[in-house]
Structure 1
Amino acid sequence: MSDKIDAVWPAVPADERMSPAELRVVREYLGLTGEALAAYLGVSSRTVRHWEAGQFAVPDGVRLELEQLEEITARAVDDAVAQLLDVPEPTVLVYRSDEEYRAAQPDTRLPASWHRAVIARAADRVPGLAIDYPQPVS
């Protein structure tokens, strides 16, 4: 499957290739598990584990996909901050599970953990931000 990832991206210069450690740090910074990253990239979770363990080189396309995801994430943080900054007593809801998140955001390919990471980063910039779960549907 990683060949499929590289097929759509140009090659990255050797000195800019992603190391196994960098892959893990970026994945965790984005709030993604190995399984969630694998699903996002369309590869098996075993493949992600192999990349992070250094058993296989991280394909160039993965670095480029993650750079795009970092941009998407930064925009999501900025958008959340912009919506919440001037609100008195700002509150935002986060989701307990992927199912709950996808019910609220059906078009997303990303997991609830990504959304929670976005909100955590926004909370650093929005004083007094309250974070809560939606009320359970009974």
Structure 2
Amino acid sequence: MSHETPQMTGAELRSTREMLGLTGDHLARMLRINPRTIRSWEQGRDPIPARFGPELTQLVEATREAVAQMAASVKSQSDPLLLTYRSDSEYLAANPDGRWTAAWHRQVCARVADQAGARIDYFGSGS
């Protein structure tokens, strides 16, 4: 008896993408597919091939790991402050090999802030 993973729905894909702080275009680049394909999947016009499930799971796990690492880095601070990026160009200047976006980094910061009671500010804002 085979136990197949249920096919991901368009709503699940969109929710996951939004949770990751990614645009459809950026997710499409990460998955090496056409952005129209992401839109079609999210709107339920076309089924999402099962082969993309593991890739999405890896992105979610990498994000969870980033949250855990950032949370550990502020754990000992009495007034934790997280610094993030205003734009993708700022993010990429600081992370030239980065596969993520400034929005992704901000959502990681938001999760850590929620867990650790930390504040968030932009790099270079003088806080």
Determine if the TM-score, normalized by the shorter chain, exceeds 0.5: yes
SS in 1 for 2:79: coil
| Alignment partner of 1:112 is 2:102 | yes
| Alignment partner of 1:57 is 2:47 | yes
| Alignment partner of 1:133 is 2:112 | no
TM-score with structure 1 length normalisation?
0.83
2-structure distance, mates of 1:111, 1:62: 20
In structure 1, runs of 5+ residues without a counterpart are 1-11
Q: What's 1:74 paired with?
A: 64
Q: 1:122 aligns with which of 66, 91, 112?
A: 112
SS in 2 for 1:108: coil
2-structure distance, mates of 1:43, 1:94: 28
Q: Give the AA of the match of 1:70.
A: V
Deviation >3 Å, runs of 4+: none
2-structure distance, mates of 1:37, 1:122: 23
Shift of 1:99: 1.0
2-structure distance, mates of 1:34, 1:46: 9
SS in 2 for 1:92: strand
* Number of aligned residues: 123
In structure 2, runs of 5+ residues without a counterpart are none
Shift of 1:111: 1.0
SS in 2 for 1:71: helix
C-alpha RMSD over aligned residues: 1.5
Q: What's 2:36 paired with?
A: 46
* Same amino acid, percent of matched pairs: 46
TM-score with structure 2 length normalisation?
0.90
| Alignment partner of 1:98 is 2:84 | no
Shift of 1:88: 2.2
Q: Give the AA of the match of 1:30.
A: L
